[in-house]
């Protein structure tokens, strides 16, 4: 399955299928005079003798968020330069969302930008690898330093997902669920029916492809987040704060953020757009820790959300809410109101 982006120029292809990595990479490499592989250390340990046996002399990235520190950024770029990287070389970034963010930011900035290919290896990264956003973390929050730098291709080999631990599948499913909400009610219903008893990889491929297409729609229309791209932030405003505070996996925190979004959307609209009880049962059945919402501190969360880079103002917090499935709008919620929403949500749990 191939999905082609639809920008005015600089388009690229997203390849999604099982067992496509080596053959796809070979085709792209042909156009460059050299290639540098940046590979997440955990992914390399798991696949160096199988899916990644063709990878020569990889630069190993620390696993997960550790690859997104300033020090790691320095290490990656200095190693690329040490190896004599030139502008007509290619970088291939292999790993989860963190590796993609860190490797992408290195590709965006070394020599002021070198071509790169994203090879996402987790379910979560089906989201983060699309759209050209790259970043490292600040002491003040995640992804606060970065660049927009489109890859030349995304090669999403689903074979990597077969060994994914269940909690990572759950985390990635948070973004799959978000993309379904962004599309329409029917997609949400179909997805929930397919996962009524169990979230598993078998049934995921069509929802992954649909999710990528949904995301593509938003990022090609609004690459730099001045308008509707912000809607992809659905569930992320509180989600990021929870993720940061509790070191919770991204997609798990997003699912909690989505639950808050549903609550706040209902309140704002003064009607039940979302049947909170049914979503709560569904989330809890699959192990999303909604009980964490009971423990959060309103003021601390608001401080963390105030640092979100999408927030323009300091008195109010910008949120993406919904009027209906597939119908987002952007609104600023003032501090008192927001505090009230969070308190009410805590009591309701």
Interacting residues with a copy of itself (CB under 8 A):
33, 70, 73-74, 77-78, 81-82, 84, 86-88, 108-113, 133, 135, 138-141, 144-148, 224, 306-307, 309-314
Among residues 218 and 279, whose Cβ is nearest to a copy of itself? 218
Q: How does 325-348 read in b/e, with b if 16+ C-beta sit within 10 Å?
A: bbebeeeebeeeebeebbeebeee
Question: Is 112 a catalytic site residue?
Answer: yes
Tell me how far apart the terminal alpha carbons of the chain are, to the nearest angstrom.
42
Among residues 76 and 338, whose Cβ is nearest to a copy of itself? 76
Query: What is the Cα–Cα distance from 216 to 213, expressed in whole angstroms?
Result: 5
Among residues 77 and 327, whose Cβ is nearest to a copy of itself? 77
Question: Is 229 a catalytic site residue?
Answer: yes
CB of 321 to a copy of itself, least distance (A): 20
Question: Is 133 a catalytic site residue?
Answer: yes
Among residues 307 and 346, whose Cβ is nearest to a copy of itself? 307
Query: What is the Cα–Cα distance from 120 to 293, expressed in whole angstroms?
Result: 30
Question: Is 175 a catalytic site residue?
Answer: yes
- Looking at 36, 179, 236, 268, which residue is catalytic? 236
Query: What is the Cα–Cα distance from 302 to 313, expressed in whole angstroms?
Result: 13
CB of 240 to a copy of itself, least distance (A): 14
CB of 230 to a copy of itself, least distance (A): 11
Which helix (H) or strand (E) segment is 224 a member of? none
- Looking at 225, 267, 298, 332, which residue is catalytic? 225
Instruction: Find the length of the chain.
Output: 349
- Looking at 15, 142, 215, 268, which residue is catalytic? 215
Task: Provide the strand spans (E) within 124-163.
Answer: 133-138, 141-148, 153-157
Question: Is 233 a catalytic site residue?
Answer: yes
- C-alpha angle 272/216/142, rounded to 5°? 75
CB of 147 to a copy of itself, least distance (A): 6
- Looking at 68, 89, 133, 268, which residue is catalytic? 133
Question: Is 272 a catalytic site residue?
Answer: no
Query: What is the Cα–Cα distance from 162 to 122, expressed in whole angstroms?
Result: 10
Torsions phi, psi for 202 (to 5 deg): -45, -45
- Looking at 36, 183, 240, 268, which residue is catalytic? 240
Among residues 33 and 344, whose Cβ is nearest to a copy of itself? 33
CB of 284 to a copy of itself, least distance (A): 35
DSSP SS3 for 321: strand
Query: What is the Cα–Cα distance from 259 to 254, expressed in whole angstroms?
Result: 9
Q: Known catalytic residues?
A: 112, 133, 175, 215, 225, 229, 233, 236, 240, 250
């Amino acid at each position: 399955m191939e999905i082609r982006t639809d920008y005015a120029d600089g388009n690229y292809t997203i390849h999604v299928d099982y067992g496509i990595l080596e053959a796809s990479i070979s085709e792209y490499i042909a156009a460059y005079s050299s290639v540098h592989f940046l590979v997440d250390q955990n992914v390399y340990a798991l696949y160096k003798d199988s899916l990644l046996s063709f990878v020569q002399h990889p630069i190993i990235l620390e696993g997960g968020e550790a690859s997104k520190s300033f020090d790691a950024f320095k290490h990656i770029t200095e190693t690329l330069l040490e190896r004599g990287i030139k502008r007509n070389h290619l970088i291939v970034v292999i790993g989860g969302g963190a590796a993609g963010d860190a490797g992408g930011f290195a590709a965006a900035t070394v020599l002021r930008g070198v071509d790169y290919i994203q090879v996402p290896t987790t379910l979560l990264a089906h989201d983060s690898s699309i759209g050209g956003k790259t970043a490292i973390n600040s002491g003040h929050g995640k992804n606060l330093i970065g660049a927009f730098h489109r890859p030349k291709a995304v090669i999403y080999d689903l074979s990597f997902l077969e060994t994914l631990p269940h909690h990572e599948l759950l985390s990635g499913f948070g973004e799959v669920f978000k993309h379904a909400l962004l599309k329409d009610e029917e997609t949400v219903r179909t997805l929930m029916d397919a996962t009524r008893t169990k979230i598993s990889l078998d049934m995921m491929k069509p929802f992954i492809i649909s999710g990528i297409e949904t995301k593509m729609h938003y990022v090609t229309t609004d690459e730099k987040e001045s308008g509707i791209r912000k809607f992809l932030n659905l569930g992320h405003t509180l989600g990021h704060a929870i993720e940061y505070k509790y070191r919770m996996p991204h997609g798990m925190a997003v699912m909690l953020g989505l639950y808050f979004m549903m609550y706040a959307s209902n309140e704002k609209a003064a009607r039940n757009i979302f049947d909170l009880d049914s979503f709560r049962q569904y989330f809890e059945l699959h192990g999303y820790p909604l009980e964490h919402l009971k423990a959060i501190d309103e003021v601390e969360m608001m401080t963390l959300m105030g640092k979100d880079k999408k927030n323009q103002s300091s008195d109010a917090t910008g949120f993406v809410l919904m009027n209906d499935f597939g119908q987002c709008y952007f609104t600023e919620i003032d501090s008192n109101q927001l505090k009230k929403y969070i308190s009410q949500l805590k009591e309701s749990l």
